[in-house]
Amino acid sequence: MRPRTFIALAFTLFMMSVSALVNASSTAAAEASSDNTLIVEKQRFTLPSFETFNGSTIKQVNVGWEAYGELNDKKDNVILVTHYFSGTSHAAGKYTEKDAQPGYWDAIIGPGKAIDTNKFFVVSVDTLVNLNAYDEHVITTGPASINPDTNKPYGLSFPVVTIRDFVNVQKALLESLGITSLYAVVGPSMGSMQAIDWASAYPDWIPRMISVIGAGESDGWTTAALAHWAMPIKLDSNWNNGNYTKETAPVNGLTASLMLISQHALSPEYFNAQAQSLEFSNLEDAPLNDINTSHSIVNWLTSRAASRAENMDANHLLYLVRACQLFVAGHQQDLKKGLSTIKAKTLFFPATTDLLLMPYLSEHTHAMLEDMGKDTAIDMLSGSLGHLEGVANVQAQQTRIRRFLEEK
Amino acid sequence: MRPRTFIALAFTLFMMSVSALVNASSTAAAEASSDNTLIVEKQRFTLPSFETFNGSTIKQVNVGWEAYGELNDKKDNVILVTHYFSGTSHAAGKYTEKDAQPGYWDAIIGPGKAIDTNKFFVVSVDTLVNLNAYDEHVITTGPASINPDTNKPYGLSFPVVTIRDFVNVQKALLESLGITSLYAVVGPSMGSMQAIDWASAYPDWIPRMISVIGAGESDGWTTAALAHWAMPIKLDSNWNNGNYTKETAPVNGLTASLMLISQHALSPEYFNAQAQSLEFSNLEDAPLNDINTSHSIVNWLTSRAASRAENMDANHLLYLVRACQLFVAGHQQDLKKGLSTIKAKTLFFPATTDLLLMPYLSEHTHAMLEDMGKDTAIDMLSGSLGHLEGVANVQAQQTRIRRFLEEK
């Protein structure tokens, strides 16, 4: 996918024409529409009580989920797809034929595609504290949810949650469907953290794991880098220590945070192509003459971030940052210990131009697994889009993914 | 210099024991102390009126400057050293023998060093809107200065200034000393922008130019990246549209900005060494259990930034960001036109691990000069410190610098 096409996808994903939100609790699989696009339904999974990794209890956990393909009788054809930081469970297909764009990995999930829904039952689940809290297609539980004990939003009284908690909610959902192991788990970025944690925490469930633009842990560098994403929100006086409503939300702080995240997840080549199309010039009149104005490239970044902010919640962003900062495979005392329990054959796809989860993170995790004599492989996404290569252009590795899934 | 040594330098540079600020207007050169360290005096240069690149007038411009070595009779042995974003004119030597650290490039400026003060008269000047507005060793004019027309700080009524304005103030100072051309101009980072602009705007002055961790222009990517540095300040309610005093300053916003700048200017390898010395762990109790706390590596970054913020001004940071965003060599309509006027022989030192002004920026500028048939060369700073290789470890290229300056 070329950058221009990608941005259309990335920034319309959260503003698509709205179809009715279906809260069915059946295992209804997606059906193909007239043009062979999967038509999917968002479903709801509820847990009356959930104990978090840090020992807190959350009542009435609700998350949304989607499925593509058919669950077979043996229930042994399940592939779980775990989503990225600003993503949702909408990994493939469309809600209605009119949708402008399909789910983010539609290029590799579908009938006859690398993750072939003619063979596999593909499941994806909205995480706890999902960023898109106000998206009509997202069901999540987090600081913006109503605390049933107080009838008010949790705000910062919501417990800190971890990647392990996302995994455990997914496991409870799968168990509710009678599933007791997966064929594979696959995810990009924060989804890769979930995939690796699955393989480490529940090794008997996971024979195959694919990590795309991922990391076996947030090292010191990455943990600090994530902290900057939280700063603009905390500085916005509307944030008010997490006590706000949708109407009084810290929109400016959230927008600034999303601007930073967008730049972190893209690349010089992408930005400079955008600058060229804007006819960007250093000596534009407005910024040269007025400190309160900005260059065209900055205005472009701001307006895209402001659009995305509409469906997102600032507190949820802080909790997602924290979940990623706390991440180490298996949630053990160190990476080596976490990786040691993995039984899966693993495959890593870092992106050469990734400035967010840099290739050394995947390379280090892969090398550690190799040193332990485990079945592991690595290959690069070599495009110029930066981190988002793993979201927008993963189909560059579709043959490798298909082969990995076909091998016993 | 090893990372640990560097950080001691970087973060004590602005907190050194205070010596009396000498406002002499003579051309007194630095003298060597008993241990052969140059002992230097800060001097003051005043312009009653200065017209900026965008056509505004600033009354009563004051800047500080330092000199190392002796001006010869022909006044043809002058090397101008231009400083980086958070730097000052304190490029070498100490104010008193008791100073904990010398100026930032002391490793290459001094008697017998690569920039040999036994031969050259080395001058360095505090820029307009210098970040360290409250440092007793810095003299600058910017938003924190008193507007003589109102007897109040300028705040945002201060005009937008450019790298060209920094150059033109330096030129006025040099002319006041009877100097009409330079032997060379040399600078790191934002100092490289000044050096390149000197070579483009005043080609008859500049036979030699060395750009360290620099760029011929802020491309779209870099212009957008710089915008994030301004965001935390503008979100701090104490900023108040630039109207504040030192006592009511937006310290939290400034601290968050400096945290981001520090990370942008360093590298994963540096941060991870620091994390190791802090015994950083992803699952530290505090961040696991309380969303209001942070990991040790984040606390370390915060406390260092808070210390640095004490002598810095938030509005000055906004104006420096803008000057860098507006930069294109020669302040012409495009880079090619700006570079076309250069007569100097040029030498570029990007740093391989630089994440701020990435190597492609220097490589592109060098390639463009080469295409025009100009005398240009490039070599890498190959250490692991990121952008700050060019400040802390420039002596890795001391032989090359010495040779470049010795050649006719």
> CB-based contact (8 Å) between B193 and chain A?
no
Point out the catalytic residue in the list B86, B189, B192, B267. B189
Average pLDDT over residues A141-156: 97
Q: How confident is the model at residue A24 (pLDDT cuts 50, 70, 90)?
A: very low
| pLDDT for position B143 | 98
Does B322 contact A268 at a Cβ distance shorter than 8 Å?
A: no
- What is d(CA B405, CA B115) in angstroms, rounded to the nearest whole number? 8
Binding-face residues of B in 194-253 toward A, CB within 8 A:
217-225, 227-228, 231-232, 235-237, 252-253
pLDDT greater than 70 at residue A148: yes
- The pLDDT value recorded for residue B148 is 96
Q: Which residues of B touch A295 (CB under 8 A)?
A: 223-224, 227, 325
This model of the complex carries an ipTM of 0.92
pLDDT tens digits for range A214-237: 999 999 999 999 999 999 999 999
A131, pLDDT greater than 80: yes
pLDDT at A36 (0 to 100): 72
A224–chain B nearest CA distance, Å: 5
Handedness of CA B178, B180, B182, B186 (dihedral sign): positive
pLDDT at residue B319 greater than cutoff 90:
yes
pLDDT surpassing 50 at residue A136: yes
B21, pLDDT greater than 60: no
Distance in angstroms (rounded) separating the CA atoms of residues B256 and B230: 10
pLDDT at A3 > cutoff 60: no
Q: With pLDDT > 90 as the criterion, what percentage of chain B qualifies?
A: 90
Among A54, A217, A223, A262, pick the best mutation site for testing chain B contact (most B Cβ within 10 A): A223
Please state, as a whole number, how many other Cβ atoms lie within 10 Å of the Cβ of residue B276.
12
Q: Are A122 and A82 in contact (CB under 8 A)?
A: no
What pLDDT, on the 0 to 100 scale, is given for residue A17? 29
CA B284/CA A253 separation, integer angstroms:
27
Compute the average pLDDT of residues A354-369.
98
The pLDDT confidence band at residue A2, using thresholds 50, 70 and 90, is: very low
- Contact of A163 with A322, CB cutoff 8 Å: no
A326/A190 Cα distance (integer angstroms): 12
Partner-chain contact A282 B360, CB within 8 Å: no
B303 part of contact set with chain A, CB < 8 Å? no
**pLDDT the model gives residue A14:** 30
Q: Is B301 in Cβ contact with A224 (below 8 Å)?
A: yes
pLDDT of residue A37: 83
Report how far residue B307's alpha carbon sits from residue A67's, in angstroms, rounded to the nearest whole number.
52
What is the structure's pLDDT at B32? 54
Q: What backbone torsions phi and psi does residue B206 show, to the nearest 5 degrees?
A: -120, 100
Residue of chain B nearest A237, judged by CA positions: B237
pLDDT at residue number A34: 52
Beta-carbon contacts of B224 under 8 Å, excluding residues fewer than 6 positions away, are A263, A271, A295, A297, A298, A301
As a whole number, mean pLDDT of residues B364-385 equals 98
Closest residue on chain B to A284 (Cα)? B326
B80 touches chain A (CB under 8 A): no
Q: What pLDDT digit, counting tens, does each position of B288-318 carry?
A: 999 999 999 999 999 999 999 999 999 999 9
Q: Considering CB atoms only, which of B220, B268, B276 is closest to A360?
A: B268
Q: Is the pLDDT of residue B5 over 60?
A: no
Chain A residues in contact with B292 by the CB 8 A cut-off are 156
